[in-house]
Amino acid sequence: MRRRLLNVLGTFWGWCVVLGSRSSKYDEFRFSPEGQRLRAQEVQQSIAAIIADAQARPKLSSDDIRPLVEGFPAGYVMIEARRLAKNIAREKLESSGVKMYEIKASDINEIANALLETDVSIIETARANLEKRNPGKR
């Protein structure tokens, strides 16, 4: 029985070594300097496409934003709106195939700024979140 168990464990260990040492051509290319450079270009193109999409919409003016922040300090609403915009930016990047470890925080902030400049719904959602958290406060 013991001999059989050692035989099975030895076979298992052998397969682990064999399978672990193999690497595909894709892995070799992906970790090469050329593969890393191409992936960095793909990531930057995804970021640029998201920013261009956001900037294609008309920008909001302060007259558009002012009625949305009435009743709360404007800073509170905009802090919540920035948090929501960053989450939206992360979701858009992940949906385009970009991993979070491949981008810098400044890229997420850049996308969030572009979204905040053009999307009223983010500010409306931020205000609704604040009203839900603090129903009696204004």
Summarised one tens digit per residue, pLDDT across range 63-105 is 877 887 788 888 888 999 999 999 999 999 999 989 898 899 9
Q: Is 74 inside a domain boundary? A: yes
Domain range for residue 99? 24-133
Q: Is 19 inside a domain boundary? A: no
What's the structural domain count of the chain? 1
pLDDT of amino acid 69: 78
Number of residues in the chain: 138
Q: Is 10 inside a domain boundary? A: no
Q: Is 53 inside a domain boundary? A: yes
Q: Is 39 inside a domain boundary? A: yes
Q: Is 40 inside a domain boundary? A: yes
Model confidence at 6: pLDDT above 90: no
pLDDT of amino acid 66: 80
Q: Is 59 inside a domain boundary? A: yes
Q: Mean of the per-residue pLDDT values for the chain?
A: 83
Instruction: Supply the pTM of this predicted model.
Output: 0.73
User: What is the share, in percent, of the chain residues with pLDDT greater than 90?
Assistant: 39
Model confidence at 59: pLDDT above 90: no
Angle between helices 74-95 and 105-118 (to 10 degrees): 120
Q: Is 127 inside a domain boundary? A: yes
CA-nearest of 41, 37, 42, 48 to 110 is 48
pLDDT of amino acid 79: 92
